[in-house]
Amino acid sequence: MPTPTELYDQADKLKEQGKLEEAIELLKQALELDPSFALGHSALAVYYGRLGRHEEAIQHGLKVVELEPNDPFSYTAMSVTFQRAGRIPEAEEYKARAQMISMHRH
């Protein structure tokens, strides 16, 4: 049985081939094995966003923020996800949160 990381790597190769739906299925398998696999949630947020499935992208992006609350990149990625979904107030909020966390890290 492949590990979540191995499934992620396979999904990344499929993504490079333009096979986003197949990549999504592998990432779902990875998350069944480890629901706290933040990299899998992050990739799903991106892939769903590329397919215009913004609500699913948002759900996975929010899970990344929940799993990695001290990582400013999680908030920046969430800001981009909200922006692509046309939800600008939320995008601005998450951008500000990313900046706040970055300031406190230095």
Long-range CB contact pairs, 7-15, < 8 A, 24+: 7/33, 7/40, 8/37, 8/39, 8/40, 8/43, 11/43, 12/43, 15/43, 15/47
pLDDT tens-place string over residues 8-29: 999 999 999 999 999 999 999 9
What are the structural domain ranges in the chain?
A: 4-105
pTM: 0.93
In CATH, what class is 4-105? Answer: mainly alpha
Give the pLDDT confidence of 49-97 residue by residue, as tens digits.
Answer: 999 999 999 999 999 999 999 999 999 999 999 999 999 999 999 999 9
Q: 37-54 pLDDT, tens per residue?
A: 999 999 999 999 999 999
Per-residue confidence band for 106, with pLDDT thresholds at 50, 70 and 90: low
